[in-house]
Structure 1
Amino acid sequence: MKSIGQYLRLSVLLIFALSLFNCGGSKVEATTENKRVFPVQVVPVVRGNVENKIAYLGNLEAYRNVKVYSTIPTKITELKVDVNDVVKEGDLLAVVDNVKIKQGVLQAEAGLKSAQAQYENMQTEWKRIQKLYKQNAVSQSQYDAVKTQKEAAEAAVNQMKAGLQSAREQLKDSYIKAPISGIISSRNYNVGDQTSPQLPVFSIVQMDRIKIKIDIVESQVSMVYPGLKAYIKVDTYPGEVFMGKVDKVYPIINPLTRTITAEIVIDNSDRRLKPGGFARVEIVTTEHENVLVIPNHAVIEKTTLKYLGGGLSNSEIKTDYFVFIVQDSIALMKKIQTGLSSDNKVEVSSGLKMGDLVVTIGQYNISDSSLVQIVEEGK
């Protein structure tokens, strides 16, 4: 009996020891888990500008494109410029055959001179007849006849003046001049060719500014107005961004497309941009300057469904935004309020301060108060 009792006591002690051992092992594992250090990457909260933008596609166009016609259907006798030449307003571009026009001017000048001489003679006669008429020395019919001749001579002078003016205008038109400053983009005639009212002699483009026409969808019409900043990218210069602005918004919505046309203007004084090219346009509709910003991917969204009673139809979806910041190697979860978001960054209106270290990689592996080690600090 004694031996059996000893065995029982030994068994109880062994079981008790094993239980203590097992409990101690769990505590060791828990302690090890709590002390696990998670590697994270962080960036500091900084100040910057955040823009809300809408994107459109369009084509580059010359700011002005003027076609220059000859108003006289005759042969080209001189060409003063060619394609790609830079011209100023008023520069001589070409001359058409004006030999007969010059002869017409000379004839008109001679005719005017003759008419003026005749008119001066009639003026002298008119003064004489008026004096005699007052003295009752001539009849009414004689008086009226001289008056009529004087008026006819005056009308002849005016007619000859008009004819001379017309001849001079035609002679002026025979010298084709640039109506605007720009670059000759096309020439459609050679010397000796007969001009036509349907085909321009030249086309002149103004390229110191470039415009882009885009079609704004009806739902965004109220967001776009003159003066807004725009970013433009073209395939000709990959990676480069050109600055422009909304110059005008057309007043009428197209009933077929439900869009309204807007024009973007870009400074092109260096003439790098060429009309006809494809363009990607981003119009800045809203801009917040000097605000706290963090990378978009640092933000954790948590969506909850709150039942208000009466089934799923009577419920409310709520989304909250959180980030982890690191203080003394400890990750702290912070609820934040966000604002505008663009270009992989988001505005933070509350919940963070300048310089806070926000976790950007590793945030989904940690929880509030986790031990962390910063392996890299971004900018």
Structure 2
Amino acid sequence: MKKTVIWIIVAAFILLIGYRVVQRIAQRRASGLIEEKRSVPVRVMEVTRASIREILSFTGDIKGKEQVNVYSEVPGRIRSYAVREGQWVKKDGLLATVDRGITGLEFEPAKIRSPIGGIVGRVFLDIGDAVAPQVPVALVVRMNKVEVAINVVERDIPKVKTGLQASIKVDAYPDMSFEGKVTMMSPVVDPISRTSRAEITVDNRKGFLKPGMFARVDLVVREEKNTVVVPADAVLGRIERYVFVVEQGKAVRKPVSLGIRENNRVQVIEGLDASDTLVVVGQRVVDDGEEVTIVVE
């Protein structure tokens, strides 16, 4: 009987100690003294090499490569037109005649001729309207090539050079892209706008592009090939840029130096190697050295 009582007391004592230990651990966890390990789910990609381009975007107006306003050499009134808008006129072809009639005098009608071959883009006066040497009668445009004029801000002037490839888009043909080249870069800067004027020549033998159209222009000013390129969202930090990679099941923070950015991709000049396992989802919630679980889609 005594032995039974002793065993009961010992068992109760052990249970009491166990309860106290469990209670102490729970209290320490609650107070943050014991941190439970966690594994953060992330998605990753293997870093690879690719090509990336630096693109500058501009807007501008399309005009004919050659276009001239045609004037009458004498005053008078428009007597007749030999062409209509949209018609082709050859060089020195007749555009219009001018009645030079002065009271008491008679003159042969004066002839207005086109100095270039091209399309009659505009006729500015109606028959019977007064005309003078300073008043344009018609606009003639040579449209097999067109130009887009753009204004380049000071910081980008060193990047824009003649010969650069350009991609042009217009609202009339949203699914089409027209290729051109920078053919002129002004050597001066406008003191008011602080921009320099550049011209892009575009082949227009099919006639899709019309003078006066609004154009959006992308210039490829630099291209890097076989370089480390990653999603821009994978890069964190505003001043000191860094990424997370996975090594031996843990997130490792790596500082990086960046280069060209193209849309949602960015070039990494230093800090990453091809074949590194880059965190692309979950990088904002992991800490350096924290265990991670790679989630496969």
- Compute the TM-score of the two structures, normalised by the length of structure 2: 0.72
1:344 aligns with 2:264: yes
After TM superposition, list the pairs within 5 Å mapping 1:151-162 onto structure 2: none
Pairwise CA distance, 1:183: 1.2
Q: Share of identical aligned residues, percent?
A: 33
- Structure 2: runs of 5 or more not aligned: 30-35, 100-107
Secondary structure at the aligned position of 1:301 is classed as coil
Counterpart check, 1:333 vs 2:252 = yes
Partner of 1:372: 293
| 1:131-181 residue CA offsets vs partner (Å, 9 max, x unmatched) | xxxxxxxxxxxxxxxxxxxxxxxxxxxxxxxxxxxxxxxx9x966554323
Higher radius of gyration, 1 or 2:
1
Show the counterpart of 1:138: none
* Matched positions, count: 281
Alpha-carbon displacement from aligned partner over 1:170-213 (angstroms, at most 9, x marks no partner): x9x96655432321112356778886433444321122223222
The CA deviation string for residues 213-241 of structure 1, in whole angstroms up to 9 with x for no partner, is 23333343333332233343433334654
Contact 2:121 2:140 in 1 (8 A): yes
| 1:348–1:254 CA distance, 2 compared to 1 (3 A) | closer
Shift of 1:10: 4.0
Q: Is the counterpart of residue 299 in structure 1 residue 218 in structure 2?
A: no
How far residue 300 of structure 1 moved from its aligned partner, in angstroms, is 2.6
How far apart, in 1, do the equivalents of 2:86 and 2:17 lie?
101
For the Cα contact (< 8 Å) 2:243–2:279, is it kept in 1? no
Name the CA distance, whole Å, in 2 between partners of 1:36 and 1:332.
10
Looking at structure 1, the residues matched to 16 and 244 of structure 2 have their Cα atoms a distance apart, in angstroms, of: 49
Instruction: Identify which of 46, 49, 52 aligns with 2:51.
Output: 49
1:154-303 to 2 correspondences below 5 Å: 177-188=113-124, 196-238=132-174, 240-301=176-237
Give CA deviations for 1:310-340 in whole Å, capped at 9, x if unaligned: xxxxxxxxx142232588xx45536244322
Aligned residue for 2:158, secondary structure, equals: helix
Cα offset for 1:297?
0.5
State the Cα RMSD in Å. Answer: 4.2
Distance 1:188 1:369, change over 3 A: closer
Q: Is the 8 A contact 1:326 1:359 kept in 2?
A: no
For 2:284, what is the secondary structure of its paired residue?
helix
Say which structure, 1 or 2, has more relative contact order (CA 8 Å, 6+ apart): 1
Aligned partner letter, 1:17: G
Higher relative strand content: 2
Which letter does structure 2 place at the counterpart of 1:348? V
> In structure 1, how many angstroms separate the alpha carbons of the residues matched to 2:266 and 2:121?
46
CA contact (8 A) 1:188 1:199 kept: no
SS in 2 for 1:364: coil
Instruction: Pick the structure with more helix per residue.
Output: 1
